[in-house]
Amino acid sequence: MTIDYDIIVQGNNLGLREGFLGLANVTLISAPSGPILFDTGHYCNRLQLLAGLKRHGLTPADIGTVFLSHLHFDHSNNIDLFPDARVHVSRREWDYARKPHEQDILLPWLIHEQLEKHDVTFVEGEGELTRGVRYFPAPGHTPGSYAIELDSDAKGRVVIAGDAIKYMKEVILRRSDLVFDTAENSARTINRILDSADRIVPGHHPELIKCDGGFVSDDGAEFTLVVR
């Protein structure tokens, strides 16, 4: 079995005049060692997340590993659906969430208490979750943000970036527009990803594919509203 992946919750970068409607991508990685879930989304993703797993013949009980890019609510709220999974999060992010940037109001209340109910593994530096699935620090959006790099036979080197790269604007400018760490760290992270990846799964945008030295997206992000 080779490494593969599927965005089972499609994110977007919709904004409000004050605030946002943007949902985060949730990515299911299929590896020989078993399925790995990158981020879990937030509460309004809950049913969509379960439906995405069901499309792959899975339930939350089948997910043995969850990797959290960082601890903002739109990436970590649904962690309670996976009580039996080993949860990987960076030690730096864990500490940051206890004393965040004064303008960072995006961390969910009681996130530490929730995570302490799980089997938590703290990651530091660069490493490998399983063969062909590597993690590396991606600071900038938050100091403890992490990304994952996959070796895919069909798609080349794939970086699942979380909010290290949220959407196309940050690819074009090579800088983030929402930084709770430093602009310099953010730029270094973005440049590393852009220089190494054949494909990028951003935090809030359809997958980006390298083309003629830049990156393009094949599809728009669908956002269906049902009035009831």
- Give the E-state strand segments of the chain in sequence order: 4-9, 26-31, 34-38, 65-67, 86-90, 119-123, 127-130, 133-137, 146-152, 156-162, 199-202, 208-211, 214-216
pLDDT value for 223: 79
Q: Whole-angstrom Cα distance, residue 138 to residue 142?
A: 9
Distance CA 92, CA 32 (A): 29
pLDDT class for 154, splitting at 50, 70, 90? confident
Question: Going by C-beta distance under 8 Å and a sequence separation of 6 or more, which residues neighbour residue 78?
Answer: 40, 41, 42, 43, 45, 46, 49
Residue 47: what pLDDT? 96
Going along the chain from its start, the domains and CATH numbers come out as 4-216 (3.60.15.10)
Structure token digits, residue 181: 């760490």
| pLDDT computed for residue 149 by the predictor | 98
Report pLDDT digits (tens) over 99-151: 999 999 999 999 999 999 999 999 999 999 999 999 999 999 999 999 999 99
pLDDT value at residue 152? 86
Q: Could you report the per-residue pLDDT of 167-185, keeping only the tens digit for each?
A: 999 999 999 999 999 999 9
State the pLDDT confidence band at 1, using cuts at 50, 70 and 90: low
Q: Which two tokens stand for residue 131?
A: 């063969």
Cα four-point dihedral sign 209, 156, 147, 67 = positive
- Judge whether 38 and 65 are in contact, CB under 8 Å: no
pLDDT digits (tens, 9 = 90+) for 42-94: 999 999 999 999 999 999 999 999 999 999 999 999 999 999 999 999 999 99
pLDDT digits (tens, 9 = 90+) for 25-46: 999 999 999 999 999 999 999 9
For all residues of the chain together, what is the average pLDDT?
Answer: 95
d(CA 148, CA 146): 7
Q: Is 221 exposed, middle or buried (0-12, 13-18, 19+ CB in 10 A)?
A: middle
